[in-house]
Amino acid sequence: MSLEFVGKNIQRTDVVQKVTGATRYANDISLEGMLHGKLYRSEHAHARILSINTDLVRQAEGVAAVFTAKDFSASVPLFGPVTEDQPLLAEREVKFHGEPVAVVLANTAEAAQNALEGIHAEYEILPAICTVEAALAEGAPLLHAEATGLSCNRNIHSSYSYEWGNVEECRASCAHIIHNTYTFPMIHHSMIEPYCVIAYPQHGGVVIESPVQHPFILRRVIASALKLKLSQVRVIPTDIGGGFGAKGYSKYEPLAAYLALQTGKPVKLSLSMNESFFAARRLSARVAIESGFDAKGVLVFQDVVADYLIGAYADAAPRVVAKGAYLGGCGPYKVPNVRIKANAIYSNTVPATAARGFGMPQMVWAIESQLNEACRRVGIDALEIRLRNLPDKGEVFVPGDTPADGDWKQGLKKAAAMIDWGAATQKNIGRSISIGIKNPIPAAVSNAIVKLHADDSVTVAVGTTEMGQGARTVFTQIAAEAFLLPVDRITVIMGDTAAVPFDLCTAGSRSTVSMGNAVQQACNDVLRQLREMAQELELIKPDEEVKISGGLVTGCGGVISYPELLKKYLGFNQGEVVGKGIFKGTKDVSHVLGGLTDFWEVIFTAAEVKVEPETGKVTVSKLVNVSDLGKAINPIQAKSQEEGGSIMAMGHALMEQLIYDDKGLLKNGGSLDYRIPTAMDVPRSMQSAFIENQDGPGPYGAKGLGESGAISPAPAIADAVRDAVGVHIKDLPLTPEKIWRALHKR
Amino acid sequence: MKRFNYAEPKNLVELVALLHQYGASASILAGGTDLINHISHGKRSPKIVVSLRGVAELSNTVIEKSEGIEIGVLATLTTVAEHPLVRQRYTALAEAAVKVGSKQIRNRGTVVGNVCNASPAADTVTALLLFDPVLSVLAETGRRTVALSDFLLGPGQTSLAADELVESIFLPTPIEGTASTYRKLSRREGVDLATVGVATSVEWSGNIRIALGAVGPKAFRAVAAELQLKGNPRDMDNIESAIRLAQVAAEPISDLRASNEYRREMVGALLRQALQQALARCKGGECK
Ligand SMILES: Cc1cc2nc3c(=O)[nH]c(=O)nc-3n(C[C@H](O)[C@H](O)[C@H](O)COP(=O)(O)OP(=O)(O)OC[C@H]3O[C@@H](n4cnc5c(N)ncnc54)[C@H](O)[C@@H]3O)c2cc1C
C-alpha cells in the first residue's frame, strides 16, 4: 500500500506558531478580574506548624485574600491520583522543603509576591527522612502515621511482588551468581515551562486551564478532592512547554480550583522555574539484584528487591513502582525464574511522580549492569550475552503476557553495527550496548471524534495533549491518510474535557497506538457513513465497489464530492458527518496489572565514550539508538523523540541529581545548581535508526515510542566507561569526581 | 519584582556625577548578566542602576596600542575572544572568554564586568592574571590605575570605591614568543562555572606563569610554582614539584560542584595539561 502522508516527514502542524511565539501557553492567559496567587513555602523538610502570622499581609496593598489551613471552612481537602494524602496547603505539619503553607491572592502577581515577605511561620522542627535507609530504619518516624489512615509499615506506602519459576531451587544449577546493589538518583524533569494554572467558576462548577498532560485524570482528582461531579469540572489543557511526566498529575490545580470557587473569581498561580523543583521529581531507587547465569551466560534467575524512594506524598509514584517492578526481574530477556519485590517508600522530599520511562530507567540500570558484569565472568562480550538471552519474535518472556512482538535481535545487531562493534578502540575509549524496554499503560481507553464538515475540512477531537511530542501532527497525518485530504484541511482539537471524548492520559508512549487507532477508526466511521448516504440517495448501489477518498465518492455511476453529498443528504449548509472511534487496551482482570501489554516499547542503545583519567571526565563521543517501533508515522518526529530522550538520559547518567542535606533541605533546587546537559554536551555523533517491521497494534503497524530513549543510555555509558578505564560504578550519576576517585583512590 | 531607578548617562561627566551622587546605592550596568541576577535574587538592591551603554567616551572594542592592548569597558566577551591580536598574543584570555557561559551570555557580558563581579571562578580573571593587567579607574575626583591583583579583594569584593568605575583594562605586550593557555574543568560542556580554572603562559626564556581560579577566595598567581619552574620548565620531575607547590597554594572549598580534595587534585591535573599545551605551542613556534 502506498501512503501519501503516513511515514513522511510532514512538518509539525504547530511549528510556525511555536517558533514565532504565537502559541498561547498558560502563562499568557489573563482574565478580567483575575487574582494572582503566590505560595508561601516551608523552609523545613519536616516540622509541626505552631503558628502562621499573616496579619500584616491581609492589610497589604492589592491583597485580596490570604489562605492558610486555618482559613478553610472544614479540614483542608486532600488530593492525589492514587492515594488522597496531599493537602492543598499544609495543615498541622509540613512534610517537605518547599511545601506550600499559605497562598496570597492579590490584584497583581507583584503585589502577591511582595506580600509573601510579610508572612511569618513558627515551626517545631522534626527529624527528616531523605534516604531509603533512614525511612526503613528501626524506629524511624512515620510520615503518614495518623493522617491518611494508610496501614503504613515503616514508611512503606505499598509493596509489589511478582514471581515466576522458582528462584530458590535453581540456584544450584548456576555457574555464576552475581549480587550487586545499584542506585539511581532523584532527577528533576527540568521542563522549560514552569507550572501555571488558571481556574475560574463557570456554570456552578469550575474550569481549569493548565499545561496538564492528563486532563481527564485531573478532572477526576479535582472532582474527588473538592466533592464535585465530573460534569462540574472542566479541564482545558494548554499547549505544554515540556512535561516529561512532571505535568501528568495534579499539582497546583486542585488549590487553584478551590480558590476560584471560594473567591468567585479567576485565580492564576504562575510559578517560577525554581519552584518546579518543589513540585515533582523522578523516583530514586536502590535496587539489590541477584542474578544467576549458566556457564554460557544464559540467565537462570533474577531475584530483585527494589526500594523506590517516593516523596512526602504519593502522587503517581506507587503506580511507577508497580509498573517498574513488573519488568524488573527480566527486562527484555527470557528469565525462567524471577522473584521481585518492590517498595514505594515515603520520605521528606519533594513528591515523586511519573517521569519519562515510568520506573524503567531505574530497573534497566540494574538489569543491564548485571549482564555487563556477567559477560566479563563468562568471557563473552556485551552484545553476545544479550543475543543469548533475548527472546525470538513470538516467544513469551513474561509468563501470561504478550510474547515478544518484534525482531529484537535484528535491532540489537543494527545498533552494534552502527557503532562499529568489535572494532579496536584507542586508549581510554570504550563502548557498550544496552537494551531498554517498557510496557505501555495496560487496559487504557482512548476515544476520538472526527467531524467531516460541509466544506470537506475535518476536525479531529481527542483527549491527547500536545507537549512537543508531536501528537497533533501524527493525528493530522492519520486523518489526512484516511480521507486523502491535504493536511491543511485537518484541525486537531486537544484535551478540553467538555469538548472531546474521554482519553485516559498522554503518557506511556501510548498516544500514537491508542489514540491513533481511535482516530483512524473514527475516520473510517465517517467514510462508512458517507457510503451509506450515497447508497441511500441511490448514487451508488449497495454492493458496488466505491472509492471514497480525496474528497470524492467514486462509484461506477459517477463521482460526487463530499460537500455535494452532504448538501444532497442533509441540505445546504446543514451539518457534518460525525465519526466515533475507540481503542481499548487488552483488559484482563486476572492479570496483575489489569491488562496485557499492547506493545513492547524496545530500544537498543550503543555508546562510545572517552574518559580522561586525570580528571575523571567522560565525553560521550557517539550515541546510537535503534527503536523497534513497527512503523514511524513521522520519522523525523520519532527521531527527535529518540534523541531527546537519550540526551535526557545522559543527564541522569552523567550529572543530574537532587541533593538533600541531612536536615532535608534541597541544596540544588534551581537551574544554576542542578545541571542538565546542554547542546554542547550532545555527542558529536548521534545516530538514530528504526526497525520498521509494521508489527505493532497501532495504525499502519506502529508501536509507541517517546520514553524509550530515556531508559537505556545510562548502563551503556557506565559500561563504556568501564570498558575504557576499568572502573565499575554502581551509583549514578557518573560525575568526574566519582570516576576520578574510583581510578585513583582504590 | 524589585524596583529601582534607571539612568543612561550620555557622557562621562554625567556618569561620574551620578556615581558621586548615589555612591553605594548605585549599581553599574555593563552587560547585566551578573547584575540582573544579583538584583532578582536579592543579593543587590540598588536605588539606581546606571547603564554604561550610552556613555559616548566608553569603548566597546579592544584598542591596539604600541605597548599593549586596552580592553574597553564595554568590549563583550565575544569581541575579546574573537579579536585576532588577543588570540595571537593573549591566547589564554581568548580561550577563557570563549568558555564563559553561552553564546548569548558572551554576546552581552563584558570582560570588565567579569572582572568587577569578582567571582573566584571568573574565567577571564584567571587568564588575565598572566598578563600584568592594569585597570584604569575613574571617579569625579579623577583617574587612578590599579593592578588586577590589588583590585581583587575576595569573593565579590574589589578595591573600587563607591563612586568609582573601571574604564578599561590595559595589558602590556607579552615578551615576544610567549605562549599561553587556559583550562577549565566544569560539570558540563555548555554554560557552567569553573570547578577549577588554570591559566599558564610560557616565555621563550623558560619563564612560566601560572594563575589558578575557583580554588581560593580569589584567583591568584601560584608564584612558588612559577619560581620552581623558572628556567627548567620541561623537566618532568620539576613539573611535578611545581604542581605540588601550586596545590599547596590552593585553598579550595567543598561545595555542590566538587569536594576540596578533588579540586586540589584537579589543580595538578589541569596544570599538567596546561603546561604541556603551552610548552607545545611555544616549541611549535605558534607563539612567535
Ligand atoms: C547563564 C550564565 C552563565 C554564566 N557563565 C559564566 C562562566 O562560565 N564563567 C564566568 O566567569 N562567568 C559566567 N557568568 C557570569 C557573567 O556572565 C560574567 O561575569 C560576565 O562577564 C559579566 O559581565 P557583564 O558585562 O554582564 O557584567 P554586569 O552584570 O553588567 O556587571 C557585573 C558586576 O560588575 C559591576 N560592574 C560592571 N561594569 C563595571 C564597571 N565598569 N566598573 C565598576 N563596576 C562594574 C556591576 O555593577 C556588577 O556588580 C555567567 C552568567 C550567566 C547569567
Q: Establish if A277 touches chain B: CB-CB under 8 angstroms.
A: no
Q: Is B105 on the interface with A (CB under 8 A)?
A: no
How far off is chain A from B135, nearest CA to CA, in Å?
Answer: 30
Tell how far the Cα of A218 is from the centroid of ligand 1, in angstroms. Answer: 44
Residue B254 at interface with chain A, using a CB cutoff of 8 Å: no
Q: Cβ contact (<8 Å) for A681 and B273?
A: no
Residue B36 CA: nearest ligand 1 atom is 29
Closest chain A CA to residue B271: A614
Q: For all residues of chain B together, what is the average pLDDT?
A: 96
Question: Which ligand 1 atom is the nearest neighbour of the CA of A672?
Answer: 1
Please tell me the pTM assigned to this model. 0.97
A574 touches B at CB < 8 Å: no
Residue whose CA lies nearest to ligand 1 atom number 11: B122
By the CB < 8 Å criterion, does A681 face chain B? Answer: yes
Ligand 1 midpoint to CA B268 (Å): 28
- pLDDT, position B198: 98
Which residues touch B82 (CB under 8 Å, ≥6 apart)? B94
Say yes or no: A426 contacts chain B, CB-CB below 8 A. Answer: no
CB B256 within 8 A of CB A673: yes
CATH class of B62-172: alpha beta
Q: Which of B177, B252, B258 is nearest to B214 (CA)?
A: B252
Question: Cβ < 6 Å from ligand 1: which residues?
Answer: B 27-35, 37, 52, 73, 77, 100-101, 105, 109-110, 112-114, 116-117, 122-123, 160, 165-166, 191, 193
Instruction: State in Å, rounded, how far the first CA of chain B is from the last one.
Output: 53
Q: For testing the chain A interface, which of B240, B266, B270, B272 should be mutated: the one with the most A CBs within 10 Å?
A: B266
Ligand 1 closest atom vs CA B99: 8
Nearest to A299 by CA among A340, A328, A338: A338
Residue B187 forms contact with A (CB below 8 Å): yes
Of the candidates B242, B187, B252, the residue with the CA atom closest to the CA atom of residue B217: B252
**In this structure, what are the phi and psi dihedrals at residue A518, rounded to the nearest 5 degrees?**
-65, -40
Closest CA–CA distance from residue B279 to any residue of chain A (Å) = 19
For residues B160 and B205, give the distance between their C-alpha atoms in angstroms, rounded to a whole number: 36
Dist. CA B225–CA B244, nearest whole Å: 8
Contact residues for A126 (Cβ-Cβ < 8 A; gap 6+): A46, A47, A48, A93, A141
Q: Give ipTM to 2 decimals.
A: 0.94
Between CA A569 and CA B31 the distance in angstroms is 68
Which string of b and e fits A59-87 if b means at least 16 CB within 10 Å?
ebebbbbbbbbeebeeebbbbbbbbbbbb
Domains in chain A, CATH or no CATH each: 15-22+444-584 (3.30.365.10), 31-126+195-270 (3.90.1170.50), 281-441+591-745 (3.30.365.10)
pLDDT the model gives residue B284: 55
Among the partner residues A615, A679, A741, nearest to B269 by beta-carbon distance? A615
Chain B contact present for A590, CB below 8 A? no
Q: A678 C-alpha to center of ligand 1: Å?
A: 21
In whole angstroms, what is the distance from residue A191 CA to residue A187 CA?
A: 12
Q: Whose CA is nearest to atom 17 of ligand 1?
A: B33
Task: Name the residue at shortest CA distance from atom 33 of ligand 1.
Answer: B117
Within an 8 Å CB–CB cutoff, is residue A114 touching chain B?
Answer: yes
State how far the Cα of A518 lies from the Cα of A619, in Å rounded to an integer.
Answer: 44
Of B191, B256, B262, which is closest to A668 when you measure between CB atoms? B256
Which residue's C-alpha comes closest to atom 21 of ligand 1? Answer: B114
Which residue of the set A193, A209, A608, A707 is catalytic?
A: A707
For the CA of B124, the closest atom of ligand 1 is 11
What's the fold here for domain B178-283? Enolase-like; domain 1 (3.30.390)
Residue of B1, B256, B258 lying closest to A673 (CB–CB): B256
- Name the grid cell of A461: 477531537
Domain boundaries, chain B: 5-51, 62-172, 178-283
Are the beta carbons of B188 and A113 separated by less than 8 Å? no
Is B189 an interface residue toward A (CB < 8 Å)?
Answer: yes
Instruction: Tell me whether A680 touches chain B (CB under 8 Å).
Output: yes
In sequence order, the 6+-apart residues with CB closer than 8 A to the CB of A469 are: A506, A511, A637, A641, A706
Identical fold for domains B5-51 and B62-172, yes or no, is no
Q: Is A707 a catalytic residue?
A: yes
**pLDDT attached to residue A146:** 62
- Find out whether the peptide bond into A733 is cis, omega within 30 degrees of 0: yes
Phi-psi region of A56 (alpha: psi -120 to 50; beta: other; left: phi over 0): alpha
Q: What is the mean pLDDT of each run of 10 residues along chain A (746 residues)?
A: 94 95 97 98 98 96 97 95 97 97 97 96 97 94 71 83 97 97 98 98 97 98 98 98 97 98 98 97 98 98 98 98 97 98 98 98 98 98 98 98 98 98 97 98 97 96 97 98 96 97 97 98 97 91 85 87 94 93 95 96 98 98 98 98 98 98 97 94 97 98 97 98 98 98 89
Are B187 and A113 in contact (CB < 8 Å)?
no
Q: Average pLDDT for residues B95-102, to the nearest whole number?
A: 97
* A619 to chain B, closest Cα gap in Å: 9
At residue B288, the pLDDT reads 39
The residue whose C-alpha atom lies closest to atom 4 belonging to ligand 1 is B101
For B5-51, CATH gives 3.30.43.10
Among A735, A737, A739, the strongest candidate for a mutation testing the B interface, having the largest count of B CBs within 10 A, is A737
Which among B190, B256, B266 has the least Cβ separation from residue A615? B266
The number of angstroms, rounded, from the C-alpha of A699 to the middle of its chain's C-alpha atoms is 22
Residue B285, pLDDT above cutoff 60 = no
CA of B114 to the centre of ligand 1 (A): 4
CA-based nearest distance B197→chain A, Å = 13
Total CB pairs under 8 A between chain A and B? 46
Who among B189, B262, B272 is closest to A680 (CB)? B189
pLDDT at A1: 67
Q: How far is A27 from chain B (nearest CA, A)?
A: 17
Determine which of B2, B187, B243, B261 to mutate to test the interface with A (most A C-beta atoms within 10 Å).
Answer: B187
Shortest CA distance from B191: residue in chain A: A678
With bands split at pLDDT 50, 70 and 90, how would you rate the model's confidence at B287? very low
User: At a CB cut-off of 8 Å and minimum separation 6, what does A41 contact?
Assistant: A98, A99, A100, A101, A275, A278
Of A113, A668, A681, the CB nearest to B1: A113
What is the least distance, in Å, from the CA of A266 to any CA of chain B? 22
For residue B99, what is the nearest residue in chain A, using CA coordinates? A680
Q: How far is the CA of B119 from the centre of ligand 1 (A)?
A: 9
